[in-house]
Amino acid sequence: MQGSVLVVGGSAGGIASAVAVKRHYPDADVVLVRKEEQVLVPCGIPYIFGTLGAPENNLIPDGILTQNGVQLIVDEVTSLDFSGKAVKTAGGRELKFDKLILATGSQPLVPPIPGADLENVFVVKKDVAYLKQIQERLKEAKQVVIIGGGFIGLEMADEFRKTGCKVTVVEVLPHCLYQVFDEELCKKVEEELTKVGVEIRTSTKVRAIEGDKKVERVLLENGDHLPADMVILAIGVRPNVALAQEAGLKIGERGGIWVDRYMRTSQKDVFAVGDCAEKFDFLTGIPSPLRLASIATAEGRIAGANVFRLRRENRGTIGVFSTKVADVAVGMAGYSEQRAKSEGIDFVVGKAETVNRHPGGMPGVAPLKVTLIFKRRTGALIGGQVCCGESVGELVNVIAAMIQYGAKADEIAVFQMGTHPALTASPLAYPLVNAAELALKQF
């Protein structure tokens, strides 16, 4: 018998951790405790309001735990006792452990904007009842303002506009998605949303949310008023580290629980994964602000493998993103050009354009553009962006794998791909290969 492993938190990181423990240590007694009756698919939350139709259609089934031999307890952990190797819960339980994995996630950021506490002002919570409330209020809404032009904000804008209401996105940066993509793709996304009726206000700061008990309008820094009977605050999240702090765990520079490359915290036999854990950049090693479900699951697989014996190392966060709004899909892995410049990296860019089917007359054809970024000195791939067909999601995953395993421009130029007329670009014009070839001319 390996011993007992207790996982606190039941979203992506917690689930991946618990399952990984059972896969690597089948004899271990694994218990996952979470406070939620139902667990939402984090990235699916915007689609509850249109495509999926209800929070119940966006749930992670508990079977993923039970089928892997993980015991599930629905209760809230209220304190951690490291010396006694136990946790206490709101339901009066005391749960013992040999190893502990914290996966307590994150909480929505609420900016210090006057009026943020008015009725019909919502954040984006991973809470079924709360999201149902938004859904009900949305039925009566005619004017919705979304503060924050990141992925969640834009995806919610796209879903909300399908209900017939007027949607305005307010973003303080020069472009929506500007923290991830270069300007060209940011503009493409903004143009597509504008075409379907979403108003985009960039380089714009919100001064106040106004109304008598219930929101009526949003006051912008330039003095403009935007009528609003609903406001969504979608400006990001912060690590949920209250339990960890109370128990004396070390907190990192970015506010997450400090962890080493094996996901171990400052306390022996205690690990942390997901949004609550500190991140560091794959390329530079500096602390990273990224919080993604895909990162959480990778960290969970590392921690789960390492609880009784060190087997896996976290090499850092690459950052892999994709989204689709209106009829355009975009994806990104690693560094953008603007990020590479800000880091002082001497780099080379290769760009290739084609279509996602071959020949171009095939049904479902769409433009496909790939941008790859390489270090000039070594030729190593450090980033890539893709637009505009639905295949971008898997293409950026391929780019991320190439970054993770140190692929160089010469190696990508002879990458052996599988192609099919109805599924991919032509092998003669395959954009990953051609972008690498064009970059090689500049070395």
Shared domain check, 374 and 402: yes
Shared domain check, 103 and 250: yes
Given pLDDT bands bounded at 50, 70 and 90, which one contains residue 389? Answer: confident
State the pTM of this model. Answer: 0.95
**pLDDT the model gives residue 273:** 98
Kindly state the tokens that stand for 308: 């009784």
What are the beta bridge partners of residue 99?
A: 5
Closest alpha carbon to 231 in 297, 151, 318, 170: 170
Q: What are the two backbone dihedrals, phi and then psi, of residue 144, each rounded to the nearest 5 degrees?
A: -120, 130
Longest dimension (CA), the chain: 68
Which stretches within 43-85 are classed as H helix?
Answer: 63-66
State which of 190, 208, 235 marks the end of a domain: 235
DSSP 220-239: ETTS-EEE-SEEEE-S-EEE
Kindly state the tokens that stand for 79: 């304190």
Question: Residue 132 is inside which H or E element, if any?
Answer: helix 128-138
Q: Could you give the angle at the alpha carbon of 413 between the alpha carbons of 410 and 414, nearest 5°?
A: 100
Shared domain check, 257 and 229: no
Residue 16 within any structural domain of the chain: yes
Residue 112 within any structural domain of the chain: no
Question: Rounded distance, CA 141 to CA 194, Å?
Answer: 20
Closest alpha carbon to 178 in 195, 160, 200: 200
Q: What is the pLDDT of residues 236-257, one digit of tens each?
A: 999 999 999 999 999 999 999 9
Question: Rounded distance, CA 23 to CA 15, Å?
Answer: 12
Shared domain check, 245 and 226: no
State which of 188, 211, 235 marks the end of a domain: 235
Q: What is the pLDDT of residues 103-124, one digit of tens each?
A: 999 999 999 999 999 999 999 9
Given pLDDT bands bounded at 50, 70 and 90, which one contains residue 3? Answer: confident
Question: Rounded distance, CA 327 to CA 324, Å?
Answer: 7
| Cβ-count burial 5-42 (b if 16+ within 10 Å, e if not) | bbbbbbbbbbbbbbbbbbebbeebbbbbbbbeebbbbb
Number of domains into which the chain is organized: 3
Shared domain check, 204 and 173: yes
